[in-house]
Amino acid sequence: MLMALGGTISVPGGARGTRLTGAEITAAVPGLAELGVPVEVRDVQAVPSGDLTFAQVLDVVAIASRAVADGADGVVVTQGTDTLEETAFLIDLVWPHEAPFVLTGAMRQPAMAGADGPANVLAAVRVAAAGESRGAGPLVVLNDEVHAARWVRKTHSTNPAAFASPNTGPLGHVVEGRVRMLLAAPRHEPLSAAFDRERLEAARVALHVVTLDDDGARLEGLEATYQGLIVAGFGVGHVPAALAPRLGALAERMPVVLTSRTGSGSVLRHTYHAPGSEADLRRRGLIDGAFLDPYKARVLLRLLLAAGAGPQDIAEEFALRG
């Protein structure tokens, strides 16, 4: 048995707020009934993906965990693609089961020509039911590609092939209905999913994207309202020299994680040494985000803060998971 959790899909041109339920989504998938895989469908969060919260995503994880404990062989979740790369990584950090947890969505609405939702749902169910997916951790399946939640990114605003894993490529493909897993992503011990909701809400993490001639004015007073900061620096992890002292001062008050705004590749550690370079920022106390992009780094830091992790624990977790 598979558990399919919605996620609802908006229908353009319909009545205000009109959405397809999970049952309507699965009923519109050609070939799904012929797979011979019993699918239990349940709607759990009827909200746009841009409105999802950490707490709601963790609620979905809890429901999926109970389904696996009750005998489900895997889980498929449909959601909007706006935040899919972030929710997938959040789930990846806490999912403790060998059973596949597969997320999918659609780049084209159901009423549009060439709607991709049905094909993506069918592929996601195939992947969730495949023995090759067990132990692979949460996966994202769109356009017949299987991506690790750890690496996947939305790289285009409208293209049906928007989801990619720039640092690794897909783990596998669905070819003629067969799931072909070509790579295995490393798995780490999951963080606990039992977060105190008040601490989760209080763990506010800011994201600052460094830009040309950035004077850091937006960072003034940040420590009064935020508990952590992600810095999306130039290239390999650089910022204007004038910004470095401000970031160093913040790093004395809160965890500040250095990432790259480029979308792929790692920040460096000790190649450049000028003021504002990655080596200079590390000397000032910034944490190395390694291969984590800014959005995923923010997810990890917020969970760690919600769990009460101290500075050394946070640095160690980023060294492990970055």
Going from the C-alpha of 174 to that of each of 126, 171, 201, 234, 291, the distances in angstroms are 8, 11, 39, 36, 27
Helix (H) or strand (E) holding 154: strand 153-154
Q: How far apart are CA 143 and CA 288, in angstroms?
A: 33
Burial, 33: exposed, middle or buried (Cβ in 10 Å; 0-12, 13-18, 19+)? exposed
Asked if residue 126 lies in contact with residue 146, where contact means CB atoms within 8 angstroms, the answer is: no
Give CA angle at 286 (283, 287), nearest 5°. Answer: 115
Asked if residue 180 lies in contact with residue 211, where contact means CB atoms within 8 angstroms, the answer is: no
Catalytic residue (one of 8, 78, 87, 259): 8
CA end-to-end span of the chain: 34
Helix (H/G/I), strand (E/B), else coil: 76: strand
Q: How far apart are CA 252 and CA 68, in angstroms?
A: 43
Long-range contacts of residues 309-317, Cβ cutoff 8 Å, at least 24 apart: 311/255, 314/255, 314/287, 315/255, 315/287
Going from the C-alpha of 175 to that of each of 123, 127, 295, the distances in angstroms are 9, 11, 31
- Does residue 26 carry a catalytic annotation? no
Which residues carry out catalysis?
Answer: 8
